[in-house]
């Protein structure tokens, strides 16, 4: 076991990844070893690629990639729920269950979330905490590619649940990347009128195909507020804005677009230390609710997998192509656009 090698991508620093031969990880009695079937690229990975990531990079070089599905090849001696040959999807974290935040049932804020990275590899060791709380069998009807979308959809479900979106409300999604497109679908599923504001005509057309009632290009900056308001009931603006672009300018724009008394959910993370400016008059007199939202919980992860299995969400439009792991440098390259659609990475 110890001498066996595998291909894995490692992050060495901003815009520098290498696919190398490293040892296949050894597992402890309460862990499993998974052979990756499909890994999916994610906006977070592109952020990590460009500038590193405070939560995800612990040591250099760092494994990366966190959306994955595959097959158990080895289960530790204490594992009873999984055996070699099982098709599984693993979350990229699991809450400890006993810290201050877990006791308050805010599992996504757990102090002991250990992030699992290393999906861009042939094999991954799934740590005990995730095996115990956040590893799932994949229904036979699902491909690895579909199952690997469980993680991003779990994050989106967690957000949309907090939003408390009601049928008939107007939701404006800022961002037409994979997350934005998930919000478009969830909004429609909940019976909302959905507006998508994004960059890139191709992605906006996908938003339209997935049910967006109105699409607007963010490039029309000066006029975007008027245009969005015009298509909302009474011309007041959307009831809810979800920012899924992770840009300071669109964080600020969110508070300007939302209607009086509306809710703004800031889902897209900006780089550490970023500051934005809000008009206090607007927030106070117009009673704008602003909240951040982060990550997922095991409940949302399980629910996400069943949404995908029940085909309630169209996942195929979110994945633009497929590449081999050895070609990862062509996916993560210097000129990659902001927030691209997903690429399936096959070892
Ligand atoms: Zn992700
Ligand atoms: Zn905890």
φ, ψ at 265 (rounded to 5°): -115, 120
The whole-number average pLDDT for the span 260-273 is 95
Please report which ligand is nearest the Cα atom of 67. Answer: 1
Please report which ligand is nearest the Cα atom of 101. Answer: 2
Q: What per-residue confidence (pLDDT) applies to 26?
A: 96
- The CA 294 to ligand 2 mean position distance, Å, reads 15
Q: Are strands 263-266 and 240-243 parallel, antiparallel or unpaired?
A: parallel
**Residue 53 — very low, low, confident or very high, per pLDDT cuts 50/70/90?**
confident
The whole-number average pLDDT for the span 255-261 is 97
Rounded percentage of the chain residues whose pLDDT exceeds 70: 99
The whole-number average pLDDT for the span 87-107 is 97
Q: Is 307 exposed, middle or buried (0-12, 13-18, 19+ CB in 10 A)?
A: buried
214-257 per-position pLDDT tens digit: 999 987 667 899 999 999 999 999 999 999 999 999 999 999 99
- The CA 285 to ligand 1 mean position distance, Å, reads 36
Q: What per-residue confidence (pLDDT) applies to 339?
A: 79
Q: What per-residue confidence (pLDDT) applies to 221?
A: 67
Ion ligand 2: residues, CB within 5 A, are 95-96, 99, 102, 110, 112
- The CA 299 to ligand 2 mean position distance, Å, reads 15
The pTM of the full predicted model, rounded to 2 decimals, is 0.95
127-139 per-position pLDDT tens digit: 999 999 999 999 9
The two structure tokens encoding residue 194: 């959905």
- The CA 103 to ligand 2 mean position distance, Å, reads 7
Q: Say yes or no to pLDDT of 200 above 90.
A: no
Please report which ligand is nearest the Cα atom of 40. Answer: 1
- The CA 73 to ligand 1 mean position distance, Å, reads 24
Q: CA-based angle 241:277:267, to the nearest 5?
A: 35
Please report which ligand is nearest the Cα atom of 268. Answer: 1
3-class DSSP state of 116: coil
Q: What per-residue confidence (pLDDT) applies to 243?
A: 98
- The CA 297 to ligand 2 mean position distance, Å, reads 11
The whole-number average pLDDT for the span 63-71 is 96
Token pair 């478009």 in the structure block, residue: 184
6-20, 110-124, 330-344, range with the lowest pLDDT: 330-344
What are the structural domains of the chain?
A: 5-149+315-346 (3.90.180.10), 154-292 (3.40.50.720)
Q: Say yes or no to pLDDT of 1 above 60.
A: no
- The CA 100 to ligand 2 mean position distance, Å, reads 7
Higher pLDDT, 221 or 116: 116
φ, ψ at 130 (rounded to 5°): -75, -40
Q: Say yes or no to pLDDT of 2 above 60.
A: no
Q: What per-residue confidence (pLDDT) applies to 38?
A: 98
The whole-number average pLDDT for the span 184-188 is 98
Q: What per-residue confidence (pLDDT) applies to 225?
A: 92
Q: Round to whole Å and give the CA distance between 5 and 89.
A: 23
Q: Say yes or no to pLDDT of 71 above 90.
A: yes
Q: Say yes or no to pLDDT of 109 above 80.
A: yes
What is the DSSP secondary structure assignment for residue 81, as one 8-state letter? S
**Contact, 325 vs 346, CB < 8 A?**
yes
Q: Say yes or no to pLDDT of 126 above 60.
A: yes
3-class DSSP state of 34: strand
Q: Round to whole Å and give the CA distance between 212 and 254.
A: 18
Q: Say yes or no to pLDDT of 337 above 80.
A: no
Higher pLDDT, 337 or 253: 253
Please report which ligand is nearest the Cα atom of 99. Answer: 2
17-21, 177-181, 271-275, range with the lowest pLDDT: 271-275
Distance spanning both ends of the chain, measured CA to CA: 19
Nearest to 95 by CA among 80, 82, 108: 108
The whole-number average pLDDT for the span 167-188 is 97
Rounded percentage of the chain residues whose pLDDT exceeds 90: 88
Q: Round to whole Å and give the CA distance between 290 and 166.
A: 18
Q: CA-based angle 129:114:270, to the nearest 5?
A: 145
């Amino acid at each position: 076991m110890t001498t066996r090698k595998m291909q894995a991508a490692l992050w060495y620093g901003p815009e520098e990844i290498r696919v190398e031969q490293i040892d296949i990880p050894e597992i402890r009695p309460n862990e499993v070893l998974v052979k990756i079937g499909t890994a999916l690229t994610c906006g977070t990975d592109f952020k990590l690629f460009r500038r590193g990531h405070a939560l995800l990079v612990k040591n250099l070089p760092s494994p990366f990639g966190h959306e994955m599905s595959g097959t158990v090849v080895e289960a530790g001696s204490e594992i009873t729920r999984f055996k070699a040959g099982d098709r599984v999807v693993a979350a990229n974290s699991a809450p400890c269950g006993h810290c201050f935040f877990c006791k308050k049932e805010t599992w996504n804020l757990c102090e002991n979330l250990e992030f699992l990275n290393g999906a861009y590899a042939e094999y991954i060791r799934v740590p005990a905490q995730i095996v115990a709380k956040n590893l799932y069998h994949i229904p036979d009807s699902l491909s690895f590619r579909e199952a690997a979308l469980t993680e991003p959809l779990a994050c989106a479900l967690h957000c949309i649940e907090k939003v408390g979106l009601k049928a008939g409300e107007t939701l404006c999604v800022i961002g037409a990347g994979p997350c934005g497109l998930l919000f478009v679908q969830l909004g429609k599923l909940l019976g909302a009128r959905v507006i998508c504001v994004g960059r890139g005509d191709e992605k906006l057309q996908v938003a339209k195909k997935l049910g967006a009632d109105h699409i607007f290009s963010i490039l029309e900056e000066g006029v975007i507020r008027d245009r969005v308001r015009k298509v909302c009931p009474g011309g007041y603006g959307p009831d809810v804005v979800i920012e899924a672009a992770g840009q300071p300018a669109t964080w600020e724009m969110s508070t300007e677009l939302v209607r009086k008394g509306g809710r703004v959910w800031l889902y897209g993370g900006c780089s550490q230390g970023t500051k934005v400016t809000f008009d206090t008059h607007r927030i106070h007199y117009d009673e704008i609710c602003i909240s951040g939202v982060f990550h997922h919980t095991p409940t949302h992860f399980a629910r996400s997998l069943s949404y995908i299995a029940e085909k309630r969400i169209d996942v195929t439009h979110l994945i633009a192509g497929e590449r081999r792991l050895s070609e990862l440098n062509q996916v993560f390259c210097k000129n990659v656009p902001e927030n691209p659609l997903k690429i399936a990475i096959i070892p």
